[in-house]
Amino acid sequence: MEMEITREINNGVDVLTLSGPLDSNSAARANDEIIGKLKENGKLVLDMSGCGYVSSAGLRVILLVAKQSAVMKAKAAIAGLQSEVSDIMEMTGFASLLPKYETVEEALAALGE
Amino acid sequence: MELLTIDSYPTKTYEGLRLRPGHPLPFGASVVHGGVNFSVYSRAATSCKLALFHRNDAEPFAMIPFFDEFCIGDVFAMIVYDIDIENVEYGYIMDGPNDARTGHRFDRTKVLLDPYAKIIVGRDTWSETQEGGQLRPYRSRVAPDDFDWQGDRPLETDINELIIYETHVRGFTRHASSGSKYPGTFTALREKIPYLLELGVNCVELMPVFEYDEFENWRTAPGGNGKLLNYWGYSTVGFFAPKAGLAASGRYGMQMDELKTLVRALHKNGLEIILDVVFNHTAEGNENGPYLSFRGIDNNVYYMLAPNKEHYYNFSGCGNTLNCNHPIVRNMILDCLRYWAAEYHIDGFRFDLASILGRNQDGAPMTNPPLLEELAYDAVLGKCKLIAEAWDAGGMYQVGSFPSWGRWAEWNGRYRDDIRRFLKGDPGLVWPVSQYIAGSPHMYDPAVRGNCASINFITCHDGFTLWDLYAYNSKQNMANGEENNDGSNDNHSWDCRCEKNGAYDEGATLHLRKRMIKNAFAFLLLSRGAPMLLAGDEFCNTQYGNNNAYCQDNEISWLDWKMLRQNRDIFEYVKRLIRLRRECACLKSGTPGGDRTSLGYSRISFHGERAWQADYSGHTLGVLYCCDEEYVYAGFNMHWEDHRMELPQLPWNRRWRVYESSWDESENGMEKSGGVLVKNRAAVILRGELQKTGADQE
């Protein structure tokens, strides 16, 4: 299954929706897309409610986004993590990289503060 | 594909795959620009193929020969481009002579593991089989060596400060009472860090975590209840790969990240991590064992073979013996340990049956084993703890004489045996016990071996737990399915059974058992050398008398955390002793400042019922530990009768105060005459505290 990435701008914040597995097939594209938007706008929410699997390469994308946003003093957050993906992130130490919220709305509210 | 350097382009295409000659070093599979460099050694193979599989497939999608131009020396090396490393598994197929009389056992029908594989798939979830109970064949996977260490590095804790806690990753948290979200895994161990901090230890020693096969020699348990597995894991399948089945994320192939996350978290909390490593043999067994890797790659090189070449030497008791002092194998062991030190930030290693590492290729003991010397002087391992289990199953026993170059410490098996005997009340042990408490200088010359060559322990994974040591007179190993013939018979244990008027006295028995456990901890934590505790002993964990639970993946082995609530008194006692050891410089192994304090006290001195007069013929021993600011006295009475022990005089401004007693706290035994009554089979620990002056009292 291919990953689909869609973009929406909500009150000046980029909301990127990742649908499908974030793995070695999609990691490079997702990375370029997310970092590109982060550079453009400086505020970004990753809606991962449609992403049921994150592989090792996928986790590294999230790590790079976290590192990049720290360097750029940008704000990024994750919304809607599925429980299995959340578990993988917890086991492998990637859970605390970016702030996580249940819904996009909550993430937007937090980023807007 | 973007070409970055002039040698990063393919030179050959084979069945649609683009290739070029690889780099012979490093061995293993390494990610390079645009592809993967595969490199494997074999001196005797006539040809080699790389088999590539899509994830979980039984059949390869490609079998790529290492063409002549891809071989240099005894190394097959090639770069394969455009490999999706997350979804490809690989193995090697080696061809060559198959003649047991010459020791060659090549078999081109076998797909072999890469000896340097960093991820091994096949046992991704603990004890899980495929449909129909089949086991998946092992395959290697390529892994990038990246991790977000967040500034972490090995802690390099002074060995004189170390308090080691030995545990099994699975057994530590697998029991339901552990309350872990991912029981039996690296992640669950990470969740227990607050517990370890509360206890006060500063180093965790993990039983094997290199990939092993829990199904090796598995059998049905007696009575047909469940399986007996290779639970402990002292049988390595791959030396570079963490065991997937010990990782909650093993089924996703993320065991590397999970173990590194554990290491990073331990370090953040000041806890070191030592790995128990098994280089003495592999999981391939004897001539009837399976082909996993080494046998099919270069049997003559990797194994010590008997003169007839057909049979394997068996100094390990496990079917074969790794040929540790062959230069190729030696390098593999060095590469392996450097890898774990550099890529996983491991703080030290405990070598299982380490005496095998000092045998030459014919199995004879060497005077200056090159492998042990190289490990002692290796640049990358320079600050790693090196701890030997200084014996093997072939009869070598080197406790006290393991070649050390001032670097190696040893599991002090003699400490364990003699302290156990003394604890039980055996006579004639006061002098050796005084030496053990002083760091075993009678075995390890401090001028040569330092103050901490002795790793002190009374229990370890191999043998009785501390509770069982005082609850059973003999081993209870029927559950192992070997008619109780396995496991040591030489336990120096005692069930502590007490009777009153001819009837079993449960209360007195329990009191005695707990006293004996507390006495044992007092010896362990007040002895110089590095103490090692067996996980669970601090709350009286039992294995129901099983002293060889290697195959028991069940409640026999798993720590029962309910016992922590039940035996909180023991836990609190151990905590207080650990705190004392960490607080008091005089208890530490490497006390600086010469033999005497500024007031002329010996740093450590021995006493009997009369102060300054040790009685080496009895069952009692007083020990005074001093430095300029601290005085600690321990009175050990292992006699079955009470003894009054005179306390050494303190400087004028201090007085003795009981810190802990293995008897009831209410009876501290202090006497006005300057002595302490040490009850039968008890230990009392006192501190010389500064007396309040008259002005303070007002």
Is the CB of A24 less than 8 angstroms away from the CB of B187? no
**Around Cβ B695, how many Cβ atoms within 10 Å?**
6
Query: What is the arithmetic mean of pLDDT over A67-73?
Result: 92
Q: Is the per-residue pLDDT at A1 higher than 90?
A: no
Q: Is the CB of residue B181 less than 8 Å from the CB of residue B191?
A: yes
Q: Is the per-residue pLDDT at B2 higher than 70?
A: no
Phi first, then psi: what are they for B204, rounded to 5°?
A: -110, 130
Q: A24: which chain B residues are within 8 Å (Cβ-Cβ)? A: 84-87
Is the CB of B85 inside 8 Å of chain A's CB atoms?
A: yes
B interface mutation test: which of A91, A94, A97 has the most B CBs within 10 A?
A: A91
Single out the catalytic residue among B214, B276, B284, B352.
B352
- Give every CB contact of residue A21 below 8 A, 6+ residues apart in sequence: A1, A3, A51, A52, A53, A54, A55, A58
List the domain range (segments joined by +) for residue B81. 12-141
DSSP result, B647-685: PPPPPTTEEEEEEEESS-TT---B-TTSEEEEPTTEEEE
Mean residue pLDDT across chain A: 94
Q: End-to-end alpha-carbon separation of chain A, Å?
A: 36
Q: Is the per-residue pLDDT at B148 higher than 70?
A: yes
- Rounded to a whole number of angstroms, the CA Rg of chain A reads 12
Query: B628-651, pLDDT tens digit by residue?
Result: 889 999 999 999 999 999 999 999
Is the CB of B187 less than 8 angstroms away from the CB of A90? yes
- Token match 């993988």: residue? A88
A interface mutation test: which of B89, B254, B256 has the most A CBs within 10 A?
A: B254
Query: B555-580, pLDDT tens digit by residue?
Result: 999 999 999 999 999 999 999 999 99
Sign of CA dihedral B451, B454, B455, B457: negative
Q: A55: which chain B residues are within 8 Å (Cβ-Cβ)? A: 86, 252
Structure tokens at B410: 């040893």
pLDDT of residue B450: 84
pLDDT of residue B697: 44
ipTM: 0.95
In angstroms, what separates the C-alpha of A42 from chain B's closest C-alpha?
23
Judging by DSSP bridges, how do beta strands B408-411 and B454-456 pair with one another? parallel
Q: Is the CB of residue B514 less than 8 Å from the CB of residue B539?
A: no
Q: End-to-end alpha-carbon separation of chain B, Å?
A: 86
Query: B27-50, pLDDT tens digit by residue?
Result: 999 999 899 999 999 999 999 999
Question: Given B101, B125, B141, which residue is the final one in a domain?
Answer: B141
- Supply the CATH classification number for the domain A4-112: 3.30.750.24
- What stretches of B403-561 show up as alpha helix (H) in DSSP? 413-424, 430-437, 446-449, 466-469, 506-525
pLDDT of residue B670: 80
In angstroms, what separates the C-alpha of B246 from chain A's closest C-alpha?
12
Q: A56: which chain B residues are within 8 Å (Cβ-Cβ)? A: 86, 252-254, 257
Number of domains within chain B: 2
Query: What is the arithmetic mean of pLDDT over B152-166?
Result: 96
Nearest CA in chain A to B264: A93
Q: Is the per-residue pLDDT at B447 higher than 90?
A: no
In angstroms, what separates the C-alpha of B257 from chain A's closest C-alpha?
5
pLDDT of residue A2: 85
| B352 tagged catalytic | yes
Structure confidence at residue B7 as a pLDDT band (50, 70, 90) = confident
Quick check: is B53 in a domain?
Answer: yes
The fraction of chain B above a pLDDT of 90, given in percent, is 90
Query: A19-43, pLDDT tens digit by residue?
Result: 999 999 999 999 999 999 999 989 9
Is the CB of B86 less than 8 angstroms away from the CB of A57? yes
Quick check: is B414 in a domain?
Answer: no
Is the CB of A91 less than 8 angstroms away from the CB of B84? no
Question: Given B91, B121, B141, which residue is the final one in a domain?
Answer: B141
Is the CB of B193 inside 8 Å of chain A's CB atoms?
A: no
Judging by DSSP bridges, how do beta strands B348-351 and B385-388 pair with one another? parallel
Q: B54: which chain A residues are within 8 Å (Cβ-Cβ)? A: none
- Of B631, B628, B633, B634, the closest CA to residue B592 belongs to B628
In angstroms, what separates the C-alpha of B265 from chain A's closest C-alpha?
9
Q: Is the CB of residue B373 less than 8 Å from the CB of residue B349?
A: no
β-bridge mates for residue B93, sequence order? B49
Q: Is the peptide bond before B26 cis (omega within 30 degrees of 0)?
A: yes
In angstroms, what separates the C-alpha of A59 from chain B's closest C-alpha?
10
Quick check: is B608 in a domain?
Answer: yes
Query: What is the arithmetic mean of pLDDT over B458-478?
Result: 98
Single out the catalytic residue among B389, B410, B553, B646.
B389
- Token match 């009685």: residue? B615
Residue with the larger pLDDT of the pair B693 and B329: B329
Q: A22: which chain B residues are within 8 Å (Cβ-Cβ)? A: none
Residue with the larger pLDDT of the pair B695 and B176: B176
Judging by DSSP bridges, how do beta strands B272-277 and B203-206 pair with one another? parallel
CA atoms within 13 A on the CB side of B580: 26
Is the CB of B265 inside 8 Å of chain A's CB atoms?
A: yes
Is the CB of B260 inside 8 Å of chain A's CB atoms?
A: yes
Q: Is the per-residue pLDDT at B589 higher than 80?
A: no
- Residue B679: CATH number of its domain: 2.60.40.1180
Question: Given B141, B166, B187, which residue is the final one in a domain?
Answer: B141
Mean residue pLDDT across chain B: 95
Q: Is the per-residue pLDDT at B698 higher than 60?
A: no
